[in-house]
Amino acid sequence: MTKNRLPLEDLRVIELGTLLAGPFSGRLLADFGAEVIKVEPPGKSDPMRNWGKSKDGVGLWWPIQSRNKKSITLNLRGEEGQSILRELVKETDILVENFRPGTMEKWNLSYEELSEINPKLIMVRTSGYGQTGPYKHRAGFGSVGEAMGGLRYVTGFPDRPPSRIGISVGDTLSALFATIGCLVAVHEREHSGIGQVVDTALYESVFSIMESIIPDYLLAGYVRERMGNILPGVAPSNIYFTKDKTYIVIGANADGVFRRLCEAMEKRELADDPRFATHNARGENMKLLDSLIEEWTKSLPAKEALQVLEEKGVPSGLIYSAKEILEDPHYKEREMIINVEHPQLGEFSMPGVVPKLSRTPGKVKFAGSETMGKDNHEVYGKILGYTENKIEELNKAKII
């Protein structure tokens, strides 16, 4: 492998589907060098182009979600468009889609049909409920997956209805699991020489991170409920108000860390107090302990309190908004805020690549294209060998 070569450069990916889950998988693969070809129907863009805030008519989410991707248009609802996709599949390693199950089959683009054309093809399929089961044909968004997966039930405060986390976490989780599955299938293909289907469901992706809620219920008769900012039976682990009217997070539930917190607060006696000396005791006396800690945090500005906690080795921090993230030197040093040139907006800031690889790190080469079908000539001309005349004919016929 050459020095500047990205680790997935030998993979070509066709990205179908819209919005979040499927396209986020495409973004992750593209970050590490895969040639990702984003497909949209001619005249009908991915709604993500217009989601979120905008600047000068440009959606600010799209350049991030579609970074490093080529953009083509293709009408998959007609036979000729389906035929063109089959031609592309011959030259493709991975196809990513997040339609409702049955859609690809309706278009004569099932895995069985496509794998006959290219036995090495890996099809990454993300849907609300998966490709099998009694719910497979239901429409499923991330919000429903978060609800059915158990996350919404435990999110929020006990005296209020279930709450949404502030991002589309269900979609993102399913994309992460789909990408893991995709890379597992790529690795397995090195041994078998054939591809397979990666079937990822939104609700399952959420449920898979729900810790011990099932044995908690079956074996201990306990249903985990909404607890706000605390962890049941784990203390101290909460947010605390400070003198300058902000909040900081402190996590000091381990015995040794709690002792260091007591030293930071200049209340060493609390570490040996029977009410707080053990993990179980602190959990049982959580409210009292949190009130004692907040007495201390309210006496200091957040910056000063955090400095003392850092010196004592107590995990703690501010609750960051975008402003604090941009100002943080650690984000800068770790290249987690990168600037990419955008054709309309100029310098465009976005999250860096995760995870960090020591020898072959990922890279953001360009922001997502604002022009649908910008790469039609390159993809259809170079990959399929279409002439300029044929491309123009397909364009006039609204096939691309």
In whole angstroms, give the CA distance from residue 187 to residue 141: 30
pLDDT above 70 covers what percent of the chain?
Answer: 99
Residue 3's pLDDT band, with cuts at 50, 70 and 90, is low
Q: Which of 249, 209, 258, 212 is nearest to 229 (CA)?
A: 249
DSSP H or E stretch at residue 31: helix 21-31
Give span(s): CATH 3.40.50.10540, the chain. 12-209+334-396
- How far is CA 294 from its chain centroid? 34
In whole angstroms, give the CA distance from residue 364 to residue 341: 11
Region 288-301: what's the mean pLDDT? 98
Amino acid 2: pLDDT? 54
Cβ atoms of 77 and 41 within 8 Å: the answer is yes
Region 304-317: what's the mean pLDDT? 97
CA dihedral 140, 143, 148, 153 (to 10 degrees): -170
Q: The whole model's pTM is what?
A: 0.94
CATH number for 12-209+334-396: choose from 2.30.30.100, 1.10.10.10, 3.40.50.10540, 3.30.930.10: 3.40.50.10540
In whole angstroms, give the CA distance from residue 68 to residue 25: 12
SS3 (DSSP) at 32: coil
User: In this model, does residue 11 exceed pLDDT 90?
Assistant: yes
Fold of 237-324: formyl-coa transferase, domain 3 (3.30.1540)
Condensed to tens digits (0 to 9), the pLDDT of residues 221-244 reads 999 999 999 988 899 999 999 999
Greatest CA span in the chain, whole angstroms?
84
| Mean pLDDT estimate for the chain | 96
Supply the residues annotated as catalytic: 171
Condensed to tens digits (0 to 9), the pLDDT of residues 253-263 reads 999 999 999 99
Amino acid 231: pLDDT? 87
- How far is CA 208 from its chain centroid? 15
Amino acid 349: pLDDT? 97
Region 50-70: what's the mean pLDDT? 94
Tokens 């604090």: give the residue.
Answer: 324
Residue 1's pLDDT band, with cuts at 50, 70 and 90, is very low
For 367, which DSSP code?
Answer: P
In whole angstroms, give the CA distance from residue 306 to residue 297: 9
Give span(s): CATH 3.30.1540.10, the chain. 237-324
In whole angstroms, give the CA distance from residue 296 to residue 315: 16
In one letter, which amino acid is 276?
F
